Structure 1
Amino acid sequence: MTARRGIRRLLGAGLVASLTAALAACGPSGPQTINYLIDARVNNYNVNTVDGFSSGAVMALARVLPGFSYLGPDGELVADRDVGTVSMEQGSSLKVTYTFADGAKYSDGQPMACDDIMLAATAMGGHVKGFNAATGAGYRDITNIECTPGGKTAVVTFARGRDYADWRALFGVGALLPAHVVARKAGVANVVDPITKNDTAALAKIADAWNTGFEMHPGKVTAEDFPSAGPYRVAGYTTDKGLELIANQAWWGERPAAEHITVWPRGTNYDTALKDGRIDVVDTADLSAADRMQGRTESTAPQNRAGAKDARPLSVTSLVLSGKGAFADPAMRKAFAACVPRDTLARKYGANGLVWSLRTVAPADSLGSALNQQFAKRYPRADAARARTLLGDRQGEAPGKPTVRIGYVAPDAVDKAIVEDIANSCTAAGIDVTDDSATELTPASLGKDVDVLIANGPTGIAAAGTASGFPAAYQLFGGDGLDLPDFRDAQVSGAVNDLSLTVSDSARLPLLRSIETAAWDSVVSIPLFGTVRAREATDKVQRVVPGMAATGTGWNMDRWTRK
C-alpha cells in the first residue's frame, strides 16, 4: 500500500494503561502487538461469498488479502501498486490489462498469477453455475480473459456497451483468492484450463472449493489453506487469543510497522480482552465498547442524536424484508412499514438523528440530501390506523394477529432496542413483532428463521459501504447475491444496470429516482438511518486512521505503531 492519506485525529484519548494491560499488549511478538476489536464474525477467508461478504472478514483481512486497489479512509478507491499495475484501453469495448508486480507472491512461496484473476471473474461473473458469490456487480459484464496458467498478466475484456463505471474496484481488496489452493482442493492442475474449456465436472469441484474451502473458525486454521499475499498473514485463530496476524516474511512491499496484530471478532473472548484493558483500536457499532476501551465512565452516546455531529456515513441501517411467507403479500409489507417508527429510531440511533429513506444512496453521497428529501414522505413515522387499513387489504387474510419475526446477530444492545421499539409501535396496529435474534444468524436465515433482517448495508452487520455506492446498489438487481428478498423487477434491474455505467450526477439522478420509487412501491426493505459506528484508538497507538468503508479502520493496519 504505497499511497497514504494524512493521519486524522481520533476521537478522545484513553486513560494511562495499567501495568497489566501494558504487559498483555506485548504478546508473543514483543511491544509491537496491537489489539483490534471488531463487531462481526470472521468465519470465512473468502470475503466474496454471501456469508463472507456479510461478515467482518474484510475488516480483519484487508492487509492479508490485497488486490489491485484498496478502499481509503473515505471509501475512495486507491490503486495498490505493491500488488501490480493496471492499464485501461478504451475502444469498441473496455479492455483492462492487469500485471502483477515481479515479486508478488503468497506466503507459501507461490507467485500471484493471472489464475487468481480468472478465478475471481468466473466465481463472481454469474455465467458459471455453482458459485455462491455475494454479488456479480461489474464481473458479470466481463466477456473474456486472456490468461496463460501461471502468467503474470491478464487482459480483461468487457461486453460492448458494458463499460462498468467502477471497474477500478474489480479485483481489489479481498477479491483475489489463491487459485493454486482452490486447484489443489478441487483436484485439478490449475483453474484456468477447466474454465477455458468449460469442463463442467471440474468447474463443479472448483466452485465447491471456492464456496467452502476457506471457512475458518477458532481452532480450525491451517497455514497451508490460508496463504497471504499481504503484509500480514494468519498465524492462529482461537477463542482465547483471537485472530492473530503476524508480519508476512514473503511480503515484497514496505514492511509492516507492527509485527503482530490481534483481531478480536465475535466468537472470541473479545469481552475479556476489553475488560483486561488489552484493546487498542475499535471499529464497532457498539458505542459502549469504545467508552470501555477509553476508560470513560459515562456513555458518550446521546439520547437524541439530532444534535450529534456524526460524519456522513457510507452505509444505511435497514430492515430487509423476506419475499416469502406473510411478506409475500405486498399489503402485509406495507402494513408493517406503516407501523415502524422510523422517526423515533433515527432520533435514537441514527447518524445525526436523521431518517434516511434511500437504499442505493448513502448520506455521504453528493446526491444524498436532496434525494432523501424527495422520499421523506414514504412511511416517515408510525401510523397505526393506516397499518390496520392495509392489513385489511391482505389477500386470503388469516385469522388472528400476523406475527413478524425480526432477526439480528446477538448480542446487540442497539438492535435489541430497535426491535422493542418496533414491537411496541406495531402492537397498536394489530401486528405482533418478536425478537428472533441468534448468535449464528446469517443472510440465509431470511425467509426461513426470520421475516426481517436488521442489516448495515445490503446484507451485513459489519462495516459497509464505498464512496461509489457499488456494489450495494445491486441489492435491487434481480438474482444478485445481495438481493436477499429475491426482488424481481425487470425495469429496476435495467435501471441498476444503467446506473452501473453512469458517472455524472445528472445522469444518476433519474435512475436513482426510478429505482427508489419502485423499491418503496413494493416495500422491498425499509431504510432507517445512516449507520453510526465507533472508530477509535487509545493514546497507546499511532497512525490509526478511521475507515468509513467496508474495510473499516483496519484498512491501514500495517502502518499502526505502538508508542
Structure 2
Amino acid sequence: MRLRGISVAAIAVTMALTACSAPEDESEEQARADSDRVAAGEAPDAITIGWNQPYYSYNDDTSDGNATANSIINYMLRGDLFYYDENQELIRDESLGTFEKTSDDPLTVEYTVADDATWSDGTPMDATDLLLSFVGQSGNFNTIDAADDVSNLGGEVYFNSSSPGLPLVTETPELSNDNKTLTLVYSEPFADWEVALDFGVPAHVTAMKGLGIEDPQEAKDAFVEAVQNNDAAALSPIAEFWNTGYDFTSLPDDELLYLSSGAYEMTDFVEGEYVTLTANPDYDGERPASINEVTVTYNEDPLAQVQQLQNGELDLFGPQATTDVVEALEAVDQAEIETGVDATYEHIDLVQDNGGPFDPAAYGGDAETALQVRQAFLTAYPRKDIVDTLIKPINPDAEVRNSFLVTPGAPAYDAVSEAGGMQEAYGDGDAEAAAQILDDAGVEGPIDVRVLIPADNQRRSDQFDIVQPILAEAGFNLIADRRGTWGEDLGDGTYDAVSFGWQSTSTAVTESQATYVTGGLNNLIGYSNPEVDELFDELAVTSEASEQESIQEEIEALLVEDAIGSTVFQFPAVVAYNKEVIGNVTAAPLNPTIFYGYWNWTGPEEE
C-alpha cells in the first residue's frame, strides 16, 4: 500500500442508494487470461469500478438527469467536442467535430461535425444533433416557463434544462446545406462560449420517438423543419421525449435509447446493482478504450467498498473520505491510495419557499424577520468545529471555505471572499450572538428546523451531531430527517435545511449561475434576488478577468447579505485502486473524477 497526494473531485451530490454486487466472472479460463495479461504489464481485459449512486438517465442535460451518476457513464458512452484534463485545462477532442469563433462582433461560433462521425446504430452524426442540444438547453423555444409534468406537456413546449449562454443566441442557428455545420450568432458577448454547446442525445432517435417516424433521416428533417418554423405542435412531443424518454434504471429492450458515439457501448444494466460497458469496436477517435470491459457496481457504504477492494471484487473506487475509510484502506495490502483536496464543497442550504422557519411566509410575509432568523442560524452554525473534527484528521491543512462562487486557491478567492464577508458575517459558531439576533427579531424559540440527512452517510450524521447542541443553545430545535431517498427529495420543500456538496464541472465563470438565479436549475431553496440575477447576466457577457472578479465580488456580498446559507469546506478526496490489477490511474479534479483518462489505464505499475 502506498499513499500519494492528488487533487481530485468527488460527486456533485452524495446520494445514498441500494447496495449491489458485480456480475460473476465468465469463466476460469477468462480469469487466467486476464491474470496473464496483468502479469505481462498489459491492461486487464475487464475491471470493476465502485460508485455510490446508480445510473438512471442517458440524457444528463435535463434538470432531472443532471447528476454525476449519469454523466460518468455517458462520458464513456458518448463522444464530446471538449473535456477537462487532470490540470483543469480545456482540451478539444476533434474525433467527432471541431468548433471555432469566426467573429467577435457579433460573437459567432461555427461547429463542424466530422465526416465519419456515426452513432452506433449506423446513423451518421451531423449538425442536427448539435441543433437538438441547442434547442434543449437554450429555452428559446419553450412556450411555458415550467411544467408540473414534463412527460405530458399538453401541446406546450418545455425542454427541462437551462444554460447561461445559449439563450443569448436569439436567432435560430444556421445549418449548412450538407447539415454538417451549425452556426451560432450571439446577441451579446458570452465569456464561456467555448463550453456552451456539445453533443448530447441523438437527434434522430429523439425525433423518431417524439414524432412517431421510423426513418432516421426523415425524422431529423422533420425536427429541423419544426425548429425553423417554430412549430409548437411538433416540438411539444419532441420535448416530452427529450425530457424523460431516455430515463431508465435497467437495460432497455430498445437499443436506440443508449446509442454510443464514444469509446464504450452499454451491454448490461441490472437495476440497483451494476452497469457494464464494453469497448465500441467501431470507435476510432482520440480516446479509445484501453480496457475491454468496465463494470460499475453500486454501493452507498464506502467501508463495504473497502472490503470489496480487499476481496478483489473492486478494482477502483472513490469513496467519500472519512478517517474510518482511510484507516480501513491503509490495511489493504494491494491498495494504492491517493488523497488530497477536490473540487466539491460542502454547504448548508436554508429553504425560503416552503412555509418553514426561514420563509417570510412563516412570519406573515415579513421578509426582514425571516432574514434575521436565517442570520441567527448561520451565526450559530459551527463551521470551524466541523472542519476541525471531521476534515482536518484527513487533511491537516483544511480550512473553512468562505466563498459561494470561487474555490480556495483560485486567483480570485481571497478578493471575492473578503468582499463577500462571509467569515465576518457568520463567524465560527456563536450561539450567544445568535440568540441575541432572535431576541432582537422578536422571535421566541425553540424554532423547529427539519434537517434532511442521507440515511447511511456517516459524515453527514457526524455533522448533525456537532451542529445540533450548539444550535439548541441559540434557540433552534434541529430535527433529523433521515431518508434513503434524500437525493431524489432535494428541492421538494419537505425540509428546512440540508447540507450536501456541489461539484465544479468546469472552470466557466457562469457555472454557479444556475444555483443562485431565480428559478435556476440548481436553485433548490426558492431564493430570488433580481439584483443577483442582473449581475449574473452581466457576468455572462463580460470577458475581462478583472471585471469578472469585480462582478463576482458584488454577487458574493449579496448572497451573504441575504443569508441563503453558507459554505463549509472543500471535500477531502480519496481514490483507491488495486495496484496489482490496474495502473496509470489519474483522477481529474472536475467531473468525471475517477473515470477521467480511461484511455490511459494500463496494467499494474512497476514498484
Give TM-score, length-normalised by structure 1: 0.85
Q: Classify 1:369/1:221 alpha carbon distance in 2 versus 1 (closer, same or farther; 3 Å).
A: farther
Q: Does 1:247 align with 2:276?
A: no
Residue 152 of structure 2: aligned partner: none
Residue 180 of structure 2: aligned partner: 152
Once the two structures are overlaid, the 10-residue window that deviates more, 470-479 or 357-366, is 470-479
Q: 1:429 & 1:22 partners in 2: Cα distance?
A: 60
Deviations 1:391-422 (A, max 9, x none): 34558x5x762222222444211112112222
Residue identity in the other structure for 2:108: K
Q: Classify 1:90/1:223 alpha carbon distance in 2 versus 1 (closer, same or farther; 3 Å).
A: same
**1:270-281 → structure 2 map (5 Å cutoff):** 271=305, 273-274=308-309, 276-281=311-316
Deviations 1:229-282 (A, max 9, x none): 110111111158611111112313153111111122457998474463222222
Q: Does 1:354 align with 2:399?
A: yes
Q: Identity, % of aligned pairs?
A: 20
Among candidates 136, 159, 167, match of residue 140 of structure 1:
167
> What is the CA distance between 1:84 and its match in structure 2?
0.9
Q: Does 1:166 align with 2:192?
A: yes
**1:290-439 → structure 2 map (5 Å cutoff):** 292=328, 295-296=331-332, 310-311=340-341, 313-324=342-353, 325=355, 326-328=357-359, 329-350=370-391, 352-374=397-419, 375=421, 376-392=423-439, 401-439=446-484
Do 2:340 and 2:574's aligned partners in 1 also have CA atoms closer than 8 Å? no
Residue 484 of structure 1: aligned partner: 524
SS at match of 1:541: coil
Residue 258 of structure 2: aligned partner: 226
Deviations 1:499-555 (A, max 9, x none): 223344421222111101100111122111112221333312122111100221212
Residue 117 of structure 1: aligned partner: 130
Among candidates 180, 184, 204, match of residue 180 of structure 1:
204
Residue 3 of structure 1: aligned partner: none
Q: 1:26 & 1:216 partners in 2: Cα distance?
A: 31
> What is the CA distance between 1:23 and its match in structure 2?
8.6
Output the aligned Cα RMSD.
3.3
Q: Classify 1:62/1:24 alpha carbon distance in 2 versus 1 (closer, same or farther; 3 Å).
A: farther
Residue 588 of structure 2: aligned partner: 547
Aligned residues: 529
**1:101-112 → structure 2 map (5 Å cutoff):** 101-112=114-125
Deviations 1:105-141 (A, max 9, x none): 1111122221221111111112233545453122222
Do 2:25 and 2:31's aligned partners in 1 also have CA atoms closer than 8 Å? no
Q: Classify 1:218/1:386 alpha carbon distance in 2 versus 1 (closer, same or farther; 3 Å).
A: farther
Residue identity in the other structure for 2:484: T
Q: Classify 1:445/1:9 alpha carbon distance in 2 versus 1 (closer, same or farther; 3 Å).
A: closer
Do 1:337 and 1:523's aligned partners in 2 also have CA atoms closer than 8 Å? yes
Once the two structures are overlaid, the 10-residue window that deviates more, 483-492 or 342-351, is 342-351
Residue identity in the other structure for 2:347: S
SS at match of 1:257: coil
> What is the CA distance between 1:95 and its match in structure 2?
0.8
Q: 2:51 & 2:85 partners in 1: Cα distance?
A: 18
Q: 1:487 & 1:23 partners in 2: Cα distance?
A: 56
Residue identity in the other structure for 1:531: F
Residue 455 of structure 1: aligned partner: 500
Residue identity in the other structure for 1:379: Y
Q: 2:501 & 2:48 partners in 1: Cα distance?
A: 24
Residue 102 of structure 2: aligned partner: 89
Among candidates 269, 288, 295, match of residue 262 of structure 1:
295
Residue identity in the other structure for 2:292: E
Q: Classify 1:401/1:365 alpha carbon distance in 2 versus 1 (closer, same or farther; 3 Å).
A: same
Residue identity in the other structure for 1:166: D
Q: Classify 1:455/1:74 alpha carbon distance in 2 versus 1 (closer, same or farther; 3 Å).
A: farther
Once the two structures are overlaid, the 10-residue window that deviates more, 285-294 or 361-370, is 285-294
Q: Classify 1:534/1:394 alpha carbon distance in 2 versus 1 (closer, same or farther; 3 Å).
A: same
Q: Classify 1:141/1:368 alpha carbon distance in 2 versus 1 (closer, same or farther; 3 Å).
A: same
Q: 2:507 & 2:310 partners in 1: Cα distance?
A: 35
Q: 2:33 & 2:352 partners in 1: Cα distance?
A: 50
Residue 485 of structure 2: aligned partner: 440
Residue identity in the other structure for 1:384: A
> What is the CA distance between 1:50 and its match in structure 2?
2.1
Do 1:360 and 1:473's aligned partners in 2 also have CA atoms closer than 8 Å? no
Q: 1:292 & 1:455 partners in 2: Cα distance?
A: 24
Q: Does 1:518 align with 2:558?
A: yes
SS at match of 1:52: coil
> What is the CA distance between 1:309 and its match in structure 2?
8.5
Q: Classify 1:241/1:429 alpha carbon distance in 2 versus 1 (closer, same or farther; 3 Å).
A: closer
Give TM-score, length-normalised by structure 2: 0.79
Once the two structures are overlaid, the 10-residue window that deviates more, 64-73 or 261-270, is 261-270
> What is the CA distance between 1:55 and its match in structure 2?
3.8
Deviations 1:293-336 (A, max 9, x none): 66449x999xxxxxx9844x433211122122221122222122
Q: What are structure 2's unaligned runs of at least 5 residues?
A: 7-23, 35-43, 143-156, 213-218, 360-369
Do 2:96 and 2:117's aligned partners in 1 also have CA atoms closer than 8 Å? yes
Deviations 1:123-179 (A, max 9, x none): 1112233545453122222223112698221111111xx22211111224xx51111
